[in-house]
Amino acid sequence: MATSAQNRGPEFLAVFGTGTAVAAVTVILRLWVRARIIRKIGADDWIVLLSLVLVFGSISCMASSVHHGLGRHIQTLTSEQASNAMKILWIGFCVTPSAEATAKISITIMLMRITTSAKWKYFFVSLITLMIMITIASLFAILMSCWPIQLLWDPTLQGHCNVLERTVVIYIQGVMAAGYDVILAASPVFLLWNVKIGIFDKALLCGLLALGFFTSAAGILRTVYTPDTLDTQDPTYAVLDFLIWKTVELPLSIIVGCLPTLRPLFKKKDRTGPYQKYDDTIGLTDRRMDQQIRKTTSIDMNFTGNSSGDTQSSHPQTWDLEGRR
């Protein structure tokens, strides 16, 4: 049984800090690859950079909250410490969903650029729209669950809190985020089925993005610990398991989205040029295409159309670095 002197704050920060450091390294390497090798930075790169900035904002809030008492039993804190810890924690709660959403949106945009199918593009746009709507709605619902809003961190004030409504929103957001991760992890298998790249490259990309299943698992575990956020008797301590899994899920989303873009770092230099030709989205090269066409930077993609209005052609499609046919 936990003692009154127990402090889990350092444990929480160690987990969050380690994940954030690894995520920062992968983002920096991704941007270097895009700027120096691919020589084109896309919207998904800027969005994942925004996600990393938001993660830094989140960990700053969490570190400040731990300084004021997050991770310790509330009986060991003064009323001012408890109030400050919870206030800063709720600020962090507002930043974290935005960081999570931008990381997932970045992966979605990356996947959009490796398909010519209008149906897939519409599907991914719908996912992005849904993610934005859920993030905004959950933030609004959580902040408005107490009135006045100061009741979130100062229970001594007069007012009303709908704790059940807030918990339901957290559950829904957690389940939707986990489902989103599963979709992103499974999509490459279908998108790359007919793409003319080596089987090893295809398996590698699918495998890297399949790491999203671990992100989904972290999201599910985070959702399992949602009832801990209902603990109003010891909120500064009871919420730690929920927070730890939430902060495992967040950097992992960034890492999973960046790993497939780092493959050019492990390719040998081309003897006739500075680097081999790479697809601007995922860093894959079609060697046969590269041998035949040395003056263009493209990837030959073969898609099969259907009678349902899909824009995929039955002929090979060639895409340049601007994403144009």
What was the pLDDT predicted at 54?
96
Does the predicted model carry a pTM greater than 0.85? no
Contact 265, 36 (CB under 8 A): no
Identify the CATH number of the domain defined by range 9-265. Answer: 1.20.1070
Contact 146, 161 (CB under 8 A): yes
What was the pLDDT predicted at 77?
93
Alpha-carbon distance of 284 to 109, in angstroms, equals 17
What was the pLDDT predicted at 195?
65
Q: What is the mean pLDDT of each run of 10 residues along the chain (325 residues)?
A: 68 95 96 92 95 96 96 93 94 91 93 86 94 90 86 86 80 86 84 67 68 79 73 83 88 90 73 42 43 36 39 38 37
Amino acid residing at 53: V
Exposure string (b/e) for 103-130, b if CB count within 10 Å is 16 or more? bbbbbbbbbbbbbbbeebeebbeebbee
Domain ranges of the chain: 9-265
Among 102, 81, 113, 86, which Cα is nearest to 261's?
113
